[in-house]
Amino acid sequence: MGKQNYTVPESKKVRYIIHTNCKNEADDQYTLAHCLLTPRFEVRGIIAAHFEKNNGRYKKGQTTKASYDEIIKITDLMNLRGRYPVLMGATHPMQSTTIPAISEGAKFIVKEAMKKDERPLYIGLQGALTDLATAILIEPTICKKMTAIWVGGGDYPNGGQEYNLMQDIIATNVVFQSEMPVWQIPLSVYKNFAVSLAELQVKVQPYGKLGNYLFQQLVDLNIKLSNDEPNFDWPHGEIWGLGDEAVVAALMQEEQRQELYEVRNAPLINTETMGYIQSSARPIRVYNKMDYRMTLEDLFAKLAIFAQNK
């Protein structure tokens, strides 16, 4: 790994679990690399998540393996194969709020949360909440031992259609109605991590095999999806969203900046409409803005440092 000419004090480091539906589209790969290049994050493991509702791009039951293989691809490009545990999450959404979807990923979450370690533990969730909800059902006491950062859900107060939420609404209700501390980054906030393809060509592609792959796989998917569904309004043609960068932003930006979020009662979520139903459940943190510039520039800088020092 490339050398960074600075150190992060041990007291400022956090334990971190990466949870990613890494082959769903093209931004998870950027955030996976960003997390692995961020010295504040002591990455404890990487969990491959399903994205079963994918408009037929992958056969049923194969999306978790696709995420797993893409994680391995990125770690290979970074010469990190074998450095971190890579675990398979559930291959399908939960069918009931009381029946867990057992996976090695969910078991890993429980194992890591139950360790005797004074450092805080976070899990950054870049897709469905299936594995976290299952872990809570397996061992509810983990809720007092970790914090979940989730990119997903519609905007407040009404909620509505949103891709990560759509993957497992039941699991989201399990997590929201539990005692797990949740930092939620909803749709209109994560959409602000927007980049142009020209920007990525200049700031990502030139930086080694990793940078070239991150850029090229995004450009290729941009063409493929546009050819497959020419009448669909996404992708947009010359821009992309690196929305999963929100999990990095939540831990990188100043913790004292309370103007970035508000505290709301966790809603129940309508399983048909994905609308929010007001409840008297416990509070969660909901972001209404983030430090987009700092986060994206940090990503670009770390990719450059990594390439220059190889």
Question: How many domains are contained in the chain?
Answer: 1
- Say which residues have a Cβ less than 8 Å from residue 116's Cβ, sequence separation at least 6: none
Q: Domain containing 94: what range?
A: 11-192+243-289
Is 115 a domain residue?
Answer: yes
Residue 221's pLDDT band, with cuts at 50, 70 and 90, is very high
Read off φ and ψ for residue 214, nearest 5 degrees.
-55, -45
Q: What is the pTM of this model?
A: 0.96
Of 126, 100, 98, 123, nearest in space to 111 by CA:
123
Is 299 a domain residue?
Answer: no
pLDDT in tens, 156-205: 999 999 999 999 999 999 999 999 999 999 999 999 999 999 999 999 99
Buried b (16+ CB within 10 A) or exposed e, 152-166: bbbbeeebeebbbbb
Is 226 a domain residue?
Answer: no
Q: How far apart are CA 214 and CA 309, in angstroms?
A: 18
Is 236 a domain residue?
Answer: no
Q: How far apart are CA 307 and CA 38, in angstroms?
A: 14
Which residue, chain included where needed, has tokens 């996404």? 234
pLDDT in tens, 31-64: 999 999 999 999 999 999 999 998 778 888 999 9
Q: How far apart are CA 167 and CA 71, in angstroms?
A: 19
- Give the pairing of strands 182-185 and 283-287: parallel
Is 153 a domain residue?
Answer: yes
pLDDT in tens, 293-305: 999 999 999 999 9
Is 302 a domain residue?
Answer: no
pLDDT in tens, 55-105: 778 888 999 999 999 999 999 999 999 999 999 999 999 999 999 999 999
Domain harbouring 58, CATH code:
3.90.245.10
Beta bridge partners of 168: none
pLDDT in tens, 223-244: 998 887 777 777 888 999 999 9
Of 14, 5, 9, nearest in space to 35 by CA:
14
SS (H, E, C) 148-187: EEEECCCCCCCECCCHHHHHCHHHHHHHHCCCCCEEEECH
Is 215 a domain residue?
Answer: no
